[in-house]
Amino acid sequence: MFKKFSQLGQAFMLPIAILPVAGLLLGLGSALSNEAAVQALPFLGTDIMQAIFTVMIAAGNAVFGNLPLIFSIGIAVGLAKGDKGTAGLSGGVAYLVFTGTIVALLELFSEPDATIDTGVLGSLVIGLVVTFLHNRYRKIELPQFLGFFGGSRFIPIVSSVIAIFLGIIFYLIWPPIQDGLTLLGEQIAQMGILGSFLYGFFLRLTGAIGLHHTIYPMFWYTSLGGTEVVAGETIAGAQNIYFAQLADPNFTGMFTEGTRFFAGRFATMMFGLPAAALGMYHAIPKENRKANGGFYFSSAITSFLTGITEPLEFSFLFSAPWLYVIHSVLDGISFLVADWLNIRIGNTFSGGLIDFTLFGPLQGNPQTNWIRVIPIGIIWALVYYFTFRILVKKFKVMVPGMETNVGTLPKNEETAPSSLTDKAHTIITALGDEENIQTVTACATRLRVAVNDKDKVDKETLKQLGATAVLEVDSGVQAVYGGKANLYSQEINQILGHDD
């Protein structure tokens, strides 16, 4: 079960990875075209500048308006065992047939104003069904007179046929589910700041094992994140609502309260964890600080700017899981406080400075209350700094540099391979060679490998190649390589022939 959920989380990362760029286009276009920006910088009001901003907004909306289709393609590509291009095409075609079937049935048998929006859940079903069909039948052999339609060509065809039946099923079962999701979203909203705390806590806690990618999309893109009428259209999902409001030139006032699923991130990622890095740095022996300063500084900067926190979190997760639980509680409190103070900052991907600037200051304090993040962030930095400095030092948590006479993260520069291909071969050997490897995938920062025998994995070699941590899970191991994880995954799969 862990393996399946882990793979699903990885598949979600592919379509989610495009959202920052779309968010930048939509955020900058909306921010620079609003009346306040034009008044401050009159040249922004020229026809050519406004035309540019209009195109940027349209480009961003093109992505956010077609998220279910993108998710269907992304899930199929992410979970396909081979011939991923065909899987992606099949996922896209199947989703279009699926939605077309529902629209036709609504026109035939329902009230004129009836709508069915399956959102990301519908795309998830389509993506998973297409993946099953693709992995099972992509090498099917048909009778000779149908031979042209065999193999990978069979997948878009059979996926489209199955999508028709799925459309019929969803037409029958989805209305009460849709009503139930709306009600559930309303109940979560009625929980107030307690609901915000629970969301932040469990999101951070599941992030330890990489399962958070299966949680937040349900709040961001479905009725669990609330519903709102924007520009005369009913929108479901916290992020969908936020960007619809952002794109509506007539929208005024505070952004939707669905931003409580985002706003709590900023205090933790921009202030808390960077301060925790400084606290851990001051907790390790003085003689080891110089050699390990680069790790703590780079990890803190990564969290502050981009909101990618795994390199820093994994430095203490494995040696002190209880400390990660404390971190999760603090993160939950951050969401609670942000909701309590009515902070309404949205985001595309994470809670770093880039998203904060785009969707806080550039949108204006009257719509976001972004200024309140600063004092809360300062308090959060102090809380994280002293919490981590005291606990790491008191309990001798084995963070990088804590061990006596161990000055750096594991490294062997003299013998380490230099090229990407050489490193990939070394990783394969460290994983117990090809016969021990089942699958190799990657998320934003982790190389995820399913193996037959975890005892054959050489963790030290993986660390010597730059992994800040190596985690054993039920299905195998996860090595934290930061941004190189995806490169290693592609190179290893090419060497092993898993892309065929």
The tens digit of pLDDT for each residue in 463-492 reads 888 887 888 877 788 888 876 887 898 889
Cα-based distances in Å from 101 to 71, 93, 155, 174: 19, 12, 19, 13
Quote helix, strand, coil % in the chain, to nearest 5.
70, 5, 25
The SS3 call for residue 65 is coil
State the DSSP code for 255: P
The residue among 130 and 81 whose pLDDT is bigger is 130
Contact call for residues 447 and 488 (beta carbons, < 8 A): yes
- Per the listing, tokens 């993108």 go with 70
Reply yes or no on whether the pLDDT at 298 is more than 60. Answer: yes
**Whole-angstrom distance, CA of residue 40 vs CA of residue 49:** 14
Are the CB atoms for 378 and 271 separated by under 8 Å? Answer: yes
Neighbours of 384 (CB within 10 A): 24
The per-residue pLDDT for 89 is 95
Give the model's pLDDT for residue 486: 79
Q: What is the mean pLDDT of residues 416-441?
A: 85
pLDDT of residue 375: 97
**pLDDT at site 483:** 67
Is residue 188 scored above 80 in pLDDT?
Answer: no
Token digits for 143? Answer: 């009778």
Residue located via tokens 């195109």: 55
Give the integer Cα–Cα distance in Å for 344 and 258: 8
Pinpoint the residues of the chain covered by CATH 3.30.1360.60.
420-496
Least confident of 195-199, 401-405, 464-468: 401-405
Residue-wise pLDDT for 317-339, tens only, equals: 877 889 999 999 999 999 999 99
Within 18-153, where are the H helices? 19-33, 35-40, 47-64, 67-79, 84-109, 119-137
For the record, the structure tokens of 107 come out as 């026109």
Predicted pLDDT of residue 405:
44
Q: 420-496 has which fold? A: Gyrase A; domain 2 (3.30.1360)
Please tell me the distance from the alpha carbon of residue 290 to that of residue 283, in angstroms, as a whole number: 13
Alpha-carbon distance of 6 to 439, in angstroms, equals: 12
* Residue type at position 47: D
Can you state the angle between helices 286-306 and 310-317, rounded to 10 degrees?
140
pLDDT at 273 over 60: yes
Instruction: Please give the backbone phi and psi of residue 375, each rounded to the nearest 5 degrees, phi first.
Output: -65, -40
Choose the weakest-confidence range: 174-188, 216-230, 241-255, 405-419.
405-419
Look up residue 200 and give its two tokens: 């932040």
Across 157-171, 184-198, 367-381, least confident range: 184-198
Judge contact between 425 and 417, C-beta under 8 A. Answer: yes
Phi/psi zone of residue 369: left (φ > 0), alpha (ψ -120 to 50 degrees), beta?
left
pLDDT over 50 at 445, yes or no:
yes
